[in-house]
Amino acid sequence: MPAVPPEPPCGVVLAAGAGRRFGGPKALARTPSGTPWIALAVRALRAGGCGEILVALGASLEEAAPLVPADAAIVPVPDWASGVAASLRASLAHAASGTSPAAVIMPVDTPDASPAAIARLVRRARPDALAQAVYDGVPGHPVLIGRAQWSAVRAAVRGDIGARPYLIAQQAELVECGDLWSGADRDES
């Protein structure tokens, strides 16, 4: 009997914020050619090896929802204004109803994200995993959080800081991806 391939991790796009520094919700951002950043993030996660894709939406949810590709699920974040932690908590809670062994998390403001960087984290997907992409040693995205860590992450995150303190405290594996792309997010329009 052939071996059953392991289930892939889910992918999570954090796109619920108001984008104050950006000048509006990044969930509505598009490339100069008109491609929504949300679609690019979903495409990158899928190409990197993720299974189910979740897109956390809050600010401008009604306007952003049509930009979410049909092969991704929308996770509403009613308390989005309290910070990125709300998006992370809502997404991990939604993911917990499925069977993915881990979640690969990336913000929507990384439209140039490399599927190869995502794939490096996907290869580490297991329930106890905790890994973060770094770019020439500088922490960035994506981040991989194994299912066994989800409850602790949801309890630890606060406000607009996200999972960074948890990743440091738990000594997440650092995965160099600087050879694949810059890792830069876009905070200005």
153, part of any domain: yes
The pLDDT value recorded for residue 58 is 93
Please give the residue range of the domain that contains residue 164. Answer: 10-176
- Per-residue pLDDT averaged across 46-55, rounded? 97
5, part of any domain: no
Per-residue pLDDT reduced to its tens digit, 128-153: 999 999 999 999 999 999 999 999 99
The total number of structural domains in the chain stands at 1
Q: What is the 3 state secondary structure string of 72-93?
A: CEEEECCCHHHCHHHHHHHHHH
- Per-residue pLDDT averaged across 169-189, rounded? 86
20, part of any domain: yes
Residue 3: is its pLDDT beyond 60?
Answer: no
120, part of any domain: yes
The pLDDT value recorded for residue 24 is 76
pTM to 2 decimal places? 0.94
Annotate 56-80 with b (16+ C-beta within 10 A) or e (fewer): bbbbbbeebeebbeeebebbebeeb
31, part of any domain: yes
Residue 4: is its pLDDT beyond 70?
Answer: no
Beta strands in 16-135 (DSSP E): 53-57, 73-76, 102-107, 130-135
188, part of any domain: no
- Per-residue pLDDT averaged across 170-182, rounded? 94
Residue 62: is its pLDDT beyond 90?
Answer: yes
Residue 56: is its pLDDT beyond 70?
Answer: yes
- Per-residue pLDDT averaged across 12-29, rounded? 85
| Mean of per-residue pLDDT scores for the chain | 92
Those residues whose C-beta lies under 8 Å from the C-beta of residue 139, and which sit 6 or more positions away, are 132, 133, 164, 167, 174
Q: Which percentage of the chain shows pLDDT scores above 70?
A: 96
d(CA 150, CA 172): 14
4, part of any domain: no
1, part of any domain: no
In the block, tokens 């770019």 appear at 135
Which CATH number characterizes residue 31's domain? 3.90.550.10
The pLDDT value recorded for residue 188 is 55
Per-residue pLDDT reduced to its tens digit, 110-131: 999 999 999 999 999 999 999 9
